[in-house]
Amino acid sequence: MKLVTAVLRPHAVDDVIERLQGVGISGGTTTEVQGFGQQKGRSESYRGATYEALVPKTRLEVLLPAEEVEAAVGVITATASTGKVGDGKVWVTDVSDVVRVRTGDRGAAAL
Amino acid sequence: MDPTIAANADLAWLLAAFAIVALMFPGLALFYGGMMGVKSALNMMMMVLSTLGITSVLYVLYGYGMVSGPSVKDWGIIGDPRDYIGLSTVMEDLGTGNAETAYWAAFFILFAAITIAIVASGAAGRMKFSGWLVFSAVWLTLVYFPVAHWVFAFDGDGYSGGFLINDVKIHDYAGGTAVHMNSGVAALALAFVLGRRKGRPERPHNLPLTLLGGGILWFGWFGFNGGCAVVAGFLAQYVVMNTLLAGSAGMLGFLLVERVRSGHFTGLGLITGAIAGLVGITPSANTMSPLGALGVGLVAGAVVCLCLGLKTKLGIDDTLDAFAVHGLGGIAGTICIILFASAAAPAGVEGILLGGSWDIVWRELTGIAVTCTYSFLMTCAIAWVLDKTMGLRVDEESEVAGLDLALHAESAYDIHPVGGQGARLGALADRDDVVQGAGDTGRDTGRDTVKDEEVMA
């Protein structure tokens, strides 16, 4: 079992979710986050005073059987890429167990 | 026409103007509150609205007489409150059909309260609320009441009024000195004594509120300037027009300067410029031609934009810029009177650029200098004494936590989505309507009950 985590431009996330569902991936979680990277922060000005703020991003997390990971990562990168700095990152981590809250199912049966 | 009917017409406009001005309080609360960080927005709104409470009490006790009563020993320094203590003399109907003392007491309470409310700019995010209440009472008594007497109390039949309006003969239509310079300079002085905010300044948390609040203030200004006409006649319509023109041009003046200086037109700049223009037209509304009113707005908007950085150079954290917007905006409007007041406008004052007499220069500059000097020194003294005795500033822990939580046990927003991490009524474990360890049904019922009570509370 794997956890695919993607930090993406917020406006890309709806398309990514739609295409993930298109390849049969049925669940995931998003969180609004802020970050910094090569894109740097953004600068805002209020009455001439400048404030540096982090860049808003959306984090998408999807739990998957290992064999579906490549397809998911492919869909995410293909959909969210604009070719410009700030597109975000995708990473994959191992998951030791998963529990479905409603039934108590564990492991692969809970995915 | 029956003179009572004419008087009733004037009174009808004045009563409407009163209600319009009263809306400046929620207006200023939103204008200031939206500019605060999210942690102290409510505290700022409370500072603004609480001024009505303090001012109403003081005005009934002794404030009305100190401002509008006959000058003590005819010196023009302070009114004698003795005839007006408790405002007991306002209860008799004199049968004029026009505004009597009861009306003016109510109208001037709004003037006094909005003035001290503007001063809250200099205390934003770091002052004890109890300290603010005491400071506002002392400041009104020792700063606003005397200055308002100097400027608003005309000589009457058998008694003297304030020295600035009657002896120096300044031209100040609706309070450029007593309201705007006074509050702007006092905000600077209060910020100077309190010291800077700790930590990194927060961004304005809700600019739409600030734009809405500024718009409501603009609405209030029509009652403020229009009501000062005292009659439902030509003067009222004339100053209402000029008030609109100056706010509009103030917006443009500020936006142009900020576009040239920093490359952007900003929403906060737009509304700040409109308020700057309105401050500028407050002393000058009855002296300007329509083109002159546009000029006042442009000048006030541009000057305020250029001077916003002054507080940083001075190292004084006048957080919401009352000094720039109200202090310098008021001075800019008054200097516009000196320069290009139109003799054909209702006041009949002529600026020196249009061939007017030069004695207006020293009259207006005296008004500016006396008001600003007195306000700055007296406000510093009041704030210093209160800080040494009761302590005005919150501790660092409260300031970091934010004043809404630390002082008021509230937060401005519950922005969590339904079923999210919003605060719950009491701890789940302490509630006997939640069966611990129950299955799905029991727990769901428990949550729902909690939610219902939250809504009702």
pLDDT greater than 80 at residue B416: no
Domain interval for residue B435? 425-456
What is the C-alpha to C-alpha distance for residues B425 and B423, in angstroms, rounded to an integer? 7
Q: Residues of chain A with pLDDT > 70: what percent?
A: 100
Q: What is the DSSP letter of B59?
A: I
Q: Work out the minimum CA distance from A34 to partner chain B, whole angstroms.
A: 16
Place of tokens 């564990």: A106
Q: Are strands A55-64 and A2-8 parallel, antiparallel or unpaired?
A: antiparallel
A44 touches chain B (CB under 8 A): yes
Residue B53 domain-assigned (yes or no) = yes
Q: Are strands A2-8 and A88-94 parallel, antiparallel or unpaired?
A: antiparallel
Q: Work out the minimum CA distance from A47 to partner chain B, whole angstroms.
A: 6
Residue in chain A nearest B271 by alpha carbon = A47
pLDDT greater than 90 at residue B199: no
The token pair that represents B298 in the structure block: 């442009």
A43 touches chain B (CB under 8 A): no
Residues B337 and B439 in one domain: no
Residue in chain A nearest B264 by alpha carbon = A45
User: pLDDT per residue over A29-82, tens digit each?
Assistant: 999 999 988 887 788 889 988 888 889 999 999 999 999 999 999 999 999 999
Residues B349 and B257 in one domain: yes
What is the C-alpha to C-alpha distance for residues B301 and B275, in angstroms, rounded to an integer? 8
What is the C-alpha to C-alpha distance for residues B69 and B153, in angstroms, rounded to an integer? 8
**Mean pLDDT within A20-25:** 94
Backbone CA torsion sign across A82, A18, A100, B416: positive
Looking at residue B151, which CATH number applies to its domain?
1.10.3430.10
Residue in chain B nearest A47 by alpha carbon = B269
Q: Domain extents for chain A?
A: 2-110
Residue B108: which H helix or E strand, with range? helix B101-119
- Residues in chain B with CB shorter than 8 Å from the CB of A31 are none
Q: Are strands A55-64 and A29-35 parallel, antiparallel or unpaired?
A: antiparallel
Residue B410 domain-assigned (yes or no) = no
Residues B450 and B355 in one domain: no
Answer whether B309's CB lies under 8 Å from B335's CB.
no
Q: How confident is the model at residue B163 (pLDDT cuts 50, 70, 90)?
A: very high
Residues B123 and B230 in one domain: yes
Instruction: From the options 3.30.70.120, 3.30.300.30, 3.40.50.300, 3.40.50.1980, give the CATH code of A2-110.
Output: 3.30.70.120
Do B203 and A51 make contact, defined as CB atoms within 8 angstroms?
Answer: yes
HEC states along A82-111? CCCCCCEEEEEEECCCCECCCCCCEHHHHC
Nearest alpha carbon to residue B233 among B387, B61, B12 = B12
What is the C-alpha to C-alpha distance for residues B93 and B108, in angstroms, rounded to an integer? 19
A47 touches chain B (CB under 8 A): yes
Do B309 and A53 make contact, defined as CB atoms within 8 angstroms?
Answer: no
Residues B370 and B435 in one domain: no
Work out how many CB contacts closer than 8 A connect A with B: 26
Q: Residues of chain B with pLDDT > 90: what percent?
A: 88
* Averaged pLDDT of chain B: 92
Residues B373 and B431 in one domain: no
Nearest to A45 among B262, B272, B321 (CB): B262
Residues B397 and B432 in one domain: no
Residue in chain B nearest A103 by alpha carbon = B440
What is the C-alpha to C-alpha distance for residues B140 and B108, in angstroms, rounded to an integer? 12
Residue in chain A nearest B203 by alpha carbon = A51
Residues B443 and B346 in one domain: no
A45 touches chain B (CB under 8 A): yes
Count of C-beta atoms within a 10 Å radius of residue B391: 12
Answer whether B111's CB lies under 8 Å from B179's CB.
yes
The token pair that represents A108 in the structure block: 């692969």
Residue B189 domain-assigned (yes or no) = yes
Residue A51 in 3-state DSSP?
strand
**A53-57, B39-43, B69-73, B211-215: least confident range:** A53-57
| pLDDT on residue A51 | 87
Do A46 and B268 make contact, defined as CB atoms within 8 angstroms?
Answer: yes
Residues B380 and B434 in one domain: no
Residue type for B329, please?
A: G
Residues B345 and B384 in one domain: yes
ipTM: 0.78
Do B268 and A53 make contact, defined as CB atoms within 8 angstroms?
Answer: no
Residues B349 and B437 in one domain: no
Q: Work out the minimum CA distance from B268 to partner chain A, whole angstroms.
A: 7
The token pair that represents B426 in the structure block: 């009491």
Alpha helix segments (H runs only) across B308-395: 310-314, 322, 329-340, 359-389
- Residues in chain B with CB shorter than 8 Å from the CB of A54 are none
Q: Residues of chain B with pLDDT > 70: what percent?
A: 91
- Residues in chain B with CB shorter than 8 Å from the CB of A44 are 203
Do B201 and A47 make contact, defined as CB atoms within 8 angstroms?
Answer: no
Q: What is the DSSP letter of B412?
A: S
- Our count of domains for chain B comes to 2
What pTM does this model have?
Answer: 0.89
Answer whether A13's CB lies under 8 Å from A61's CB.
no
What is the C-alpha to C-alpha distance for residues B416 and A60, in angstroms, rounded to an integer? 19
Residue B335 domain-assigned (yes or no) = yes
Residues B364 and B447 in one domain: no
- Residues in chain A with CB shorter than 8 Å from the CB of B266 are 45-47
What is the C-alpha to C-alpha distance for residues B337 and B281, in angstroms, rounded to an integer? 9
User: pLDDT per residue over B106-162, tens digit each?
Assistant: 999 999 999 999 999 999 999 999 999 999 999 999 999 999 999 999 999 889 999
Residue type for B312, please?
A: T
- Residues in chain B with CB shorter than 8 Å from the CB of A51 are 201, 203
User: pLDDT per residue over B306-315, tens digit each?
Assistant: 999 999 999 9
* Averaged pLDDT of chain A: 93
Residue B418 domain-assigned (yes or no) = no
| Number of residues that make up chain B | 457
